[in-house]
Amino acid sequence: MPREVDTFLTTVPPGKGRALRPDRTTGPAVEALIAAVAEGRADLPGFWRTVEERGTPLVERIDATDQCAVTFLWRGGNELADVILFADKAADADSYECNRMERIPGTDVWHLTYRMRADWRSSYAIAPVPADPSAASPGPLEEMAAIRRRRSLARAEPADRPAIARWFDAMAHAVPDPRARERLDASWSVVSLPDAPPELWRDAGAGAPGTVEEHSFTSAILGNTRTVWIHEPARRPADGGPWPVLVLLDGEQWAGIPVFPLLDALIERGDIPPMVSILVSAVDFPTRTRELACHDPFVAFLDEELLPWASEGRRLTSDPEHTIIAGQSLGGLTALYAAHTAAHRFGRAISQSGSFWWPAPVGADGETERLTRLLAQADRLPGRVHLSVGVHEWRLLEPTRRLRDTLAQRGAAFDYVEYNGGHDRACWRAGLPDGIVALTGGGARSRTVPAGDGAARTRHA
What's the pLDDT tens digit per position in 152-201? 788 778 888 888 888 888 888 999 999 999 999 889 999 999 999 988 87
Q: Kindly report the number of other CB atoms within 10 A of residue 215's CB atom.
A: 12
226-229 own/partner pairs: CB under 8 Å, 24+ apart: 226/280, 226/281, 226/282, 226/283, 227/251, 227/252, 227/281, 228/278, 228/279, 228/280, 228/281, 228/306, 228/310, 229/255, 229/277, 229/278, 229/279
First to last CA, the chain: 44
Between 64 and 375, the higher pLDDT residue: 375
Mean pLDDT over 287-294 rounds to 95
CB-based contacts of 258, cutoff 8 Å, min separation 6: none
> Residue 162's pLDDT is what?
86
Q: What is the pTM of this model?
A: 0.90
What's the pLDDT tens digit per position in 308-340? 999 998 999 999 999 999 999 999 999 999 999
CB-based contacts of 298, cutoff 8 Å, min separation 6: 222, 291, 292, 334
CB-based contacts of 83, cutoff 8 Å, min separation 6: 74, 76, 100, 101, 103, 110, 112, 126, 127, 128, 129
Q: Is residue 4 pLDDT above 70, yes or no?
A: no
Query: Running DSSP on this structure, what letter comes out for residue 13?
Result: P
Q: Is residue 438 pLDDT above 90, yes or no?
A: yes
CB-based contacts of 41, cutoff 8 Å, min separation 6: none
Check: CB of residue 172 under 8 Å from CB of residue 141: yes
Percent of the chain, pLDDT > 70? 88
> Per DSSP, what are the bridge partners of residue 85?
126
Most confident of 96-105, 254-263, 328-337, 363-372: 328-337
Banded pLDDT at 442 (limits 50, 70, 90): very low
Q: Is residue 364 pLDDT above 90, yes or no?
A: no
> Residue 282's pLDDT is what?
95
Q: Is residue 365 pLDDT above 90, yes or no?
A: no
> Residue 93's pLDDT is what?
76
- Report how far apart, in Å, the C-alpha atoms of 413 and of each of 349, 410, 431, 439 are: 11, 9, 19, 10
CA-derived radius of gyration, the chain: 23
Banded pLDDT at 460 (limits 50, 70, 90): low
> Residue 461's pLDDT is what?
56
Q: Is residue 236 pLDDT above 80, yes or no?
A: yes
13 φ, ψ (degrees, to nearest 5)? -55, 140
Check: CB of residue 67 under 8 Å from CB of residue 99: no
Mean pLDDT over 391-396 rounds to 90
What's the pLDDT tens digit per position in 199-226? 887 766 677 899 999 999 999 999 999 9
Beta strands in 50-97 (DSSP E): 58-61, 67-75, 80-86
Domains (ranges, CATH) in the chain?
A: 3-192 (2.60.40.10), 200-460 (3.40.50.1820)
Q: Is residue 253 pLDDT above 50, yes or no?
A: yes
Q: How far apart are CA 151 and CA 92, in angstroms?
A: 11
- Do the bridges between strand 348-352 and strand 323-328 make them parallel or antiparallel, or are there none, so unpaired? parallel
Q: How far apart are CA 109 and CA 103, in angstroms?
A: 6
3-state secondary structure 20-34: CCCEEECCHHHHHHH
Check: CB of residue 335 under 8 Å from CB of residue 414: no
What's the pLDDT tens digit per position in 419-431? 999 999 999 999 9
Q: Is residue 452 pLDDT above 70, yes or no?
A: no
Mean pLDDT over 398-418 rounds to 96
